[in-house]
Amino acid sequence: MKFYRLFLLLSVIISCVSVKGQTGAIPTKQMDVKMPQLSKNDTIRVAATNDNGEMIAWIPLREVAIYGIRIFKTQADRVAFDRLRYNVLKVMPYALFAKRRYEQLERDLAQTTVKKEQKKLVKQCDKEIKDMFNREIKELTITQGQILTKLIDREVGRTTYDIIKETKGGITAFVYQSVARVVGHNLKSTYNPQEDRDIESIIVSSGYYQ
């Protein structure tokens, strides 16, 4: 008797599912897809999109930046812009190096929770940055140093002061900032594409991101 009731219950469930499947199903109409006519020279594979039954081939194109010729009001303005361009291109590689190195540091720190190992990674990164400063950047002019601090904020998303504070602590950052202010630098300098539009135009047209 129990087996009979179980069999009856299963029959009812299967019947309901079958009826629901029949009534709930929406018949679909097979759409004929029109493929493009190919010639013997059409040998390059490209992507295609089905647009109401017609396959339309397409090729993604790289963004093309178009720049106008800048006209200066005076010769002095031209000389000033050329000097700015020279300084920006001089320090841009250092900003990009800092960006890549600190991105690598963040990836390395995320892979370990051991404080001793994290301190070792920070110390190694700090040494590499210092070696670069002692080898090349120490010869920069005050103007070039000011531009560099702005570009580091542009590339890393944090000021030089914030980076030092996060990696070496607030006291060290304060000391570094005090020394920098003596020689005309400000480690808290931020980058604003609107205010620094000349620098931005130089970077965009420089080819670093192509």
Examine the pLDDT at 78 and tell me if it is beyond 70: yes
* Mean predicted confidence (pLDDT) in 3-20: 46
Examine the pLDDT at 31 and tell me if it is beyond 70: no
Please report which confidence band the pLDDT of residue 2 belongs to, taking 50, 70 and 90 as the band edges: very low
Question: DSSP assignment of 7-40, as one string?
Answer: HHHHHHHHHHHHHHHHHH----PPPPPBPPPP-T
Per-residue model confidence as pLDDT tens digits over 189-210: 888 888 888 998 888 887 766 5
Beta strands, E only, the chain: 47-51, 54-58
Nearest 5°: phi and psi at 207? 95, 5
Question: Residue 48: beta bridge partners?
Answer: 57
pLDDT at 19: 44
pTM of the predicted model as reported, rounded to 2 decimal places: 0.59
Per-residue model confidence as pLDDT tens digits over 125-143: 877 877 776 666 667 788 8
pLDDT at 52: 79
For 161, the token pair is 């002061």
Examine the pLDDT at 181 and tell me if it is beyond 50: yes
pLDDT at 138: 67
